[in-house]
Amino acid sequence: MKLRSLALAALIFAASFAAPVAVSPVQASADSTCYPNWKIRQTDLNGCSSTALLSPGNDTRVNLLMLLHDRHGSVGVSNVPDYDSYYNERRRSDAAPFNFAYFAGKLGPARKEVDDSGDFPWGTRCMSNASGSAAFIAAVGAAKGLNGTERAALAAARSAMSPQCSSDETARAVAEVAVQNVTSKTGKAFANYLIGAAAFYDGDMAGAGAAFSAIGKTGDSWLDGAATYMVARAALNQATDSAFGEYGDLNKEGGDRALLSAAENGFRAYLKANPNGEYATSARGLLRRVYWLGQDRQKLLNQYVAQFAEKDAGKRNLSLADMVQELDIKLFGDLGPNDSSDPELLAVILLREMRYYDDPSLDESNPPVSRSSIEALRGLYAGKEDLFNYLLAAHAYYVEKKSAEVLKLIPATAGGSGYLAYSRQLLRAVALDEAGDAGARAALITALNAGKLPFQRGTAELGLAMHLERAKALDLVYAAGSPIHDAEIRQILLRYSAGPALLRTRAADKATAANERNVALYTLLYKQLTRGDYAGFVKDSALVPANAKRIAADDYETPRYSEVAVFNWAGSRDFACPAISTTASALAANPKDPRGLLCLGEFVRLHGMDPYFYGVTEYLDNPRDVDELGGHPTPFGGKRFSRLDAYKAIIANPAAGPENRAYALHRAIRCYAPSGMNGCDDSEQSMAQRKAWFQQLKRDFPTSPWSKKLTVYW
Percent of the chain predicted with pLDDT > 90:
76
User: Which of 357-366, 490-499, 631-640 is the most confident on average?
Assistant: 490-499
Does residue 129 sit in the same domain as residue 257?
Answer: yes
Last residue of a domain, one of 353, 375, 400: 353
HSE of 185, CA atoms in CB hemisphere, 13 A: 7
CATH number at residue 157: 1.25.40
Does residue 90 sit in the same domain as residue 221?
Answer: no
- pLDDT score at 118: 35
Q: How many domains does the chain have?
A: 3
Does residue 134 sit in the same domain as residue 265?
Answer: yes
Q: What is the mean pLDDT of residues 563-573?
A: 96
Nearest to 201 by CA among 15, 8, 11: 15
Helices (H), 108-220: 129-142, 148-160, 171-178, 185-202, 205-213
543/242: higher pLDDT:
543
For residue 195, which phi and psi values (nearest 5 degrees)? Answer: -65, -40
Last residue of a domain, one of 330, 353, 376: 353
Q: Is the four-CA dihedral 552, 555, 556, 557 of positive or negative sign?
A: negative
Q: Is the four-CA dihedral 251, 254, 255, 256 of positive or negative sign?
A: negative
Residue 107, in any domain of the structure:
yes
Does residue 132 sit in the same domain as residue 97?
Answer: no
Lowest average pLDDT, out of 43-47, 165-169, 240-244, goes to 165-169
Does residue 149 sit in the same domain as residue 261?
Answer: yes
**Domain span including residue 157:** 125-295
Provide the 3-class DSSP secondary structure of residue 572. strand
Does residue 43 sit in the same domain as residue 107?
Answer: yes
- pLDDT score at 168: 58
pLDDT at residue 19 above 90? no
pLDDT confidence bin for 113, thresholds 50/70/90: very low
Q: Compute the residue count for the chain.
A: 714
Residue 211, in any domain of the structure:
yes
Q: What is the mean pLDDT of residues 214-224?
A: 95
Provide the 3-class DSSP secondary structure of residue 570. coil
Provide the 3-class DSSP secondary structure of residue 705. helix
pLDDT confidence bin for 568, thresholds 50/70/90: very high
Nearest to 373 by CA among 335, 408, 338: 338
Instruction: Give 606's contacts (C-beta < 8 A, 6+ positions apart).
Output: 569, 572
Task: For 633-655, give one letter per residue: b (16+ CB within 10 A) or e.
Answer: bbebeeeebbbbbbbbebbeeee
Residue type, 79: N
- pLDDT score at 558: 83
pLDDT at residue 24 above 60? no
- pTM of this structure: 0.87
Residue 674, in any domain of the structure:
yes
Does residue 225 sit in the same domain as residue 101?
Answer: no
pLDDT confidence bin for 162, thresholds 50/70/90: confident
How far apart, in whole angstroms, are the C-alpha atoms of residue 425 and residue 428? Answer: 5
pLDDT at residue 33 above 90? no
